[in-house]
Structure 1
Amino acid sequence: MRFKHQSLRLTAIAAMLCAGLSSAAAGTSTFDSVAEFSGTQGQGGWQYGYFSSPGNAGSFTTFTNYSTFWQNGWSEAASPAPWTLLWNTGGHPNGANSTGGEHDAVRRWTSGATGTLTISGSYAIGDFGNTRLSVLVDGQEIWNGITASATQTFSVSSSVLAGSTVDFVINSNGADYGDSTRFTVTGAVSAVPEPASAMLLLAGVGLLAACTRRRRN
């Protein structure tokens, strides 16, 4: 009878561990660059700024100016130039020959989960100059494209950790004027369980198996 009670208790523990692990695996961390656009830095995991060295995530600098000057958005300068700007559906980089030098317009999202990040996006010329767009995960480029007059779409995936940075970058591509760009993205992280949780589940299952063998003997 004692073994039976032990078996029942271990079965219940294993079930709870499985439920917790399944819940962790099913969790997601999502984003929408348009719906979540904000005048508050850090809200929804978003930061708005620029790369002072093009393509270099280590040079990311947050904007301090948010106003109605340009489509209710962020700007590098209170009164541009530089013309590094971001608004809800896109942005504008600062060209190499403009005041302040070449700066990428960047919106940065920080992942709240560990797992596989899947991104879907669309992009197009907003004025008359094309730009180079890229997506960087922890400073490494995982996608790039050049804008055209017609709207284009893309999808890409990457492994991320909780705390990984994902940068959506607009570069001037050599042009200094008419660089307004439409660039929108949505995404989600399909979370995976932490190693400690997996080990705990395996330990519980092993204990249950041992108890079952002992009872049979």
Structure 2
Amino acid sequence: MEIDFSQIVPSIPFILQGIGITLAFALVSAIIGLVLGSILAIFKISKVSALKWFANIYTSIFRGTPLILQLVIIYFAVPQLFQYDIPKFLAGVIAFGLNSGAYISEIIRAGIQAVDKGQQEAAEALAIPYRPMMKDIILPQAIKNILPALMNEFITLTKESAIVSVIGLMDIMRRAQIVGANTFRYFEPLLIAGFVYWVLVTCLTVLGGFLERRLRRSE
């Protein structure tokens, strides 16, 4: 077994340039997933059966099919169906955002249902409309309870963002693959990419723990 990083060292800055793209991609996808997941969660606890049906079918489809399949459908099918050459970044965040929304909706739904029912009963007794009640009373308490799960979803998005390398987005993984193709040495650049992802995930885990402790102290 021969391992030699000497040929890869000059390409390390090129690989590291993918960190910004990876984090931006994960952040935008998480925002889309959070907004969509919040809407779907409200649909799921709604008394309107059509909304519950739509949210449940949506979640079933996006949780029941591979993320990479959703990605390639959006990237390759959109030009065919709509004659629009969708950018790689946009295709990626749409696919990841839609997929993440399905998972986040379940997290938020569980968080909402975990809030003491007395809170909603008190709001209804005070004649507070449903939307303000959810926005100002129920959701803020639910977010506190589900922050660790939401942070874990963001960490998962950061790791799984490597999938977008299949459509050529110049993230960490794609850059490592390019270095491997140019040097005919794949183990070393992929090992470096793995180390970078590990550092990112470790930092995000520490940040999540810090936020969780801050929320506990504020209670």
Q: TM-score, normalised by structure 2?
A: 0.27
Q: Comparing both structures, which one devotes a greater share of its residues to helix?
A: 2
Structure number, greater radius of gyration: 1
The answer to which structure, 1 or 2, has the higher relative contact order (CA under 8 A, 6+ apart) is 2
Q: TM-score, normalised by structure 1?
A: 0.27
